[in-house]
Amino acid sequence: MNYSMNENGDIAETQNVPFSETNETFEARKVVIHIKNLQKSFGDNHVLNGFNLKLQEGENLVVMGKSGSGKSVMIKCLVGLMQPDSGYIEVMGKEVNTLDQTQLDALRADIGFLFQGSALYDSMTVRENLEFPMRRHKEKLGDVTDTEPLVLEALENVGLAHTMNLMPEELSGGMKRRVALARTLILKPKVILYDEPTSGLDPITAKEIIELMRSIQKKYNTSSLIITHDVDCARVISERMVLLVDGINYAEGTFAELSASTDPKVEAFFKK
């Protein structure tokens, strides 16, 4: 099978291949995020030194890197919250660094971003927290006047419909994370960026969050970029992994491939 890439970074089949005997579809998947040669320094601190990444449609891609390696910096560059020094970033066919504020807002409406920590607004109820992105991205929702059904659907997805009128301080850490996930889902994003979705949670709650991420991916066929330290999370959720070491995509592969590696820098991630 041959694939070629067009100028949009999309991968297309270059020849027609009938269904194989194993009934494989040979479906070429679209690239929804493409990062090329990303560089970002803060003074003498060279955080990203030529990082590359491709996320395909419907894929769960895990990025692992140790604390301070630049994972959050990478994700902030991706959504235009931070300006890279150089490099090319394309999200759903749009080159992020060329967009004006209006175009960037429109793109962000299609990207769900679960920040590191839950980052709920403490002075707003759960319901108001969920309504916030709807107000911010009115154009995406059209003429929705009654927000309640959407809020309820998003909360039901994370099993927390009963918390609609509570304040964040009345929720546990795991519940806050689930509400934040519901808020991420409310605009039905095509791509979800998760920055440490399980950090600070006990193993059982972490497992619940991972299960939620999986069920959401199945239900909405979202493409997910998941940043995590959590080896168990990576094992369960990743189709493919990228290890960020020394500012570059140091190693890539499936969990099984990478966890069997004898490269000391790769092995270090999988040692308990």
Ligand X SMILES: Nc1ncnc2c1ncn2[C@@H]1O[C@H](COP(=O)(O)OP(=O)(O)OP(=O)(O)O)[C@@H](O)[C@H]1O
Q: Is 168 helix (H, G, I), strand (E, B) or coil?
A: helix
> Is residue 222 at the binding interface for Mg ion, with CB under 5 A as the rule?
no
| Of 15, 23, 42, 145, the one binding ligand X by CB under 6 A | 42
User: What is the four-CA torsion angle of 135, 137, 140, 144, rounded to 10 degrees?
Assistant: 0
> Is residue 19 at the binding interface for ligand X, with CB under 6 A as the rule?
no
Comparing CB distances to ligand X, the nearer of 19 and 42 is 42
> Is residue 72 at the binding interface for Mg ion, with CB under 5 A as the rule?
yes
Comparing CB distances to ligand X, the nearer of 69 and 249 is 69
> Is residue 68 at the binding interface for ligand X, with CB under 6 A as the rule?
yes
Tell me the residue type at 96: V
The Cα–Cα gap between 203 and 17 comes to 45
Q: What is the DSSP letter of 142?
A: -
Q: Which single residue is written with the structure tokens 């960026």? A: 193
Q: Which does 19 bind (CB under 5 to 8 A by kind): Mg ion, ligand X, none?
A: none
Q: How far is the CB of 43 from ligand X (least distance, A)?
A: 8
* Nearest Cα residue to 156 out of 186, 129, 128: 186
* Nearest Cα residue to 226 out of 250, 199, 259, 257: 199
Q: Which does 68 bind (CB under 5 to 8 A by kind): Mg ion, ligand X, none?
A: ligand X
Q: Which part of the chain contacts ligand X (CB under 6 A), choosing from 29-37, 40-48, 128-136, 230-238? A: 40-48
The Cα–Cα gap between 117 and 60 comes to 20
Q: Which does 212 bind (CB under 5 to 8 A by kind): ligand X, Mg ion, none?
A: none
Q: Which part of the chain contacts Mg ion (CB under 5 A), choosing from 15-23, 28-36, 109-117, 130-138? A: 109-117
The Cα–Cα gap between 253 and 193 comes to 19
Instruction: List residues near ligand X by CB under 6 A.
Output: 42, 45, 47, 65, 67-73, 116
